[in-house]
C-alpha cells in the first residue's frame, strides 16, 4: 500500500533527516517506527501525508505518486489518513463530543450519525462522562485520547500516530493500543512512531528502526525473519 523508493529528505540548512530510505508497507500492517531523538521518525510520517516533500526519491500510496499530487489530490489523500499528532490541537470552544463528531461532519456524515459514532469511540477510549467537557478541562492523556478518537472516526485506511501514548499512563497506553489493534482487524494500516519499548515489544508486528536518518533495522515479528 505504501512504497518508498530511495527517499531522502534534507531540510534547508540542515544535514539530511532521512537518507536513501526504501521500504514497503502492506495493507493491514501494524508498524512501529522507532529510533533515538532526531532519527527522522516524525519526518517520515510527515512525508506520507504530504506535510513535507522528499528532496529525492518517490513515495507511492495505493499506487499513486504522493510527490506528484496537486492540491485536490493532497486533500483526497489526507481524507484517507487519520492523524494523531501532538500539534494538531483540539478546538477549545467545542466539547469533546463535538471535536470528534465534527471531523466526520466535514466529510458529509449527518450530525446524528457522527454523534453516535463519536460516543462509541470515546467510550472505547475510556472517556465516558467527558463528552460534554471542553478540551482544556481534560488532562494531557485525556486530550490525547480525544485526538485519537477524532483520527479514527472516518475509518481511515491509514493511521499515522506520533508518540500517541506519550502522555498516557501504562494502563491507558495499553487501552489505546487495543483500540488500534481492533482497527487493524478491519484492514486499517497503522504506523506508530514511538520510544515506548515496552509497547513496541508487545504490539509491534513490524518494527522499523531509524538512526540518523538511515534505516538500520526492519524486523517482522510474524515470521520472525528480517524483512529486506
Verify binding: residue 194, Mg ion, rule CB under 5 A. no
Tell me the β-bridge partners of 61.
2, 64
Q: Which is nearer to ligand ATP, 11 or 178 (CB)?
A: 11
The phi, psi pair for 5, rounded to 5°, reads -120, 110
Task: Give Cα 52 to chain centroid, integer Å.
Answer: 15
Single residue of 3, 42, 176, 188 touching ligand ATP by CB under 6 A: 42
Quote the CA–CA distance of 181 and 59 in Å, as a whole number. Answer: 26
- Under DSSP, the state recorded for 1 is -
What does the chain come to in residues? 228
Single residue of 39, 48, 90, 161 touching ligand ATP by CB under 6 A: 39
C-alpha grid cell, residue 174: 495499553
Verify binding: residue 144, Mg ion, rule CB under 5 A. no
Show the site string, 3-42: x = touches Mg ion by CB under 5 A, - = not. Answer: --------------------------------------xx
Nearest approach, Cβ of residue 209 and ligand ATP (Å) = 11
Q: Which is nearer to ligand ATP, 40 or 54 (CB)?
A: 40
The phi, psi pair for 86, rounded to 5°, reads -60, -30
Residues that bind ligand ATP (CB under 6 A): 11, 14, 17, 35, 37-43
Amino acid at each position: 500500500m505504501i512504497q518508498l523508493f530511495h527517499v531522502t529528505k534534507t531540510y534547508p540548512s540542515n544535514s539530511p533527516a532521512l537518507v536513501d530510505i526504501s521500504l514497503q508497507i502492506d495493507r493491514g500492517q501494524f508498524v512501529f517506527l522507532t529510533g533515538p531523538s532526531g532519527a527522522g521518525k516524525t519526518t517520515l510520517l510527515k512525508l506520507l501525508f504530504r506535510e513535507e516533500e522528499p528532496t529525492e526519491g518517490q513515495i507511492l500510496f495505493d499506487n499513486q505518486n504522493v510527490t506528484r499530487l496537486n492540491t485536490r489530490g493532497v486533500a483526497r489523500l489526507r481524507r484517507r489518513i487519520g492523524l494523531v499528532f501532538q500539534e494538531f490541537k483540539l478546538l477549545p470552544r467545542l466539547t469533546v463530543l463535538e471535536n470528534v463528531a465534527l471531523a466526520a461532519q466535514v466529510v458529509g456524515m449527518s450530525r446524528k450519525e457522527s454523534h453516535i459514532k463519536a460516543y462509541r469511540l470515546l467510550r472505547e477510549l475510556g472517556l465516558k462522562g467527558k463528552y460534554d467537557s471542553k478540551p482544556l478541562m481534560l488532562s494531557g492523556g485525556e486530550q490525547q485520547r480525544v485526538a485519537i478518537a477524532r483520527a479514527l472516526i472516518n475509518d481511515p485506511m491509514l493511521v499515522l500516530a506520533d508518540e500517541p501514548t506519550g502522555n498516557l499512563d501504562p494502563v491507558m497506553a495499553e487501552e489505546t493500543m487495543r483500540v488500534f489493534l481492533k482497527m487493524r482487524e478491519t484492514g486499517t494500516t497503522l504506523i506508530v512512531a514511538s520510544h515506548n519499548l515496552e509497547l513496541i515489544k508487545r504490539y509491534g508486528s513490524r518494527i522499523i528502526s531509524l538512526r540518523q536518518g538511515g534505516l538500520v533495522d526492519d524486523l517482522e515479528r510474524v515470521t520472525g525473519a528480517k524483512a529486506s
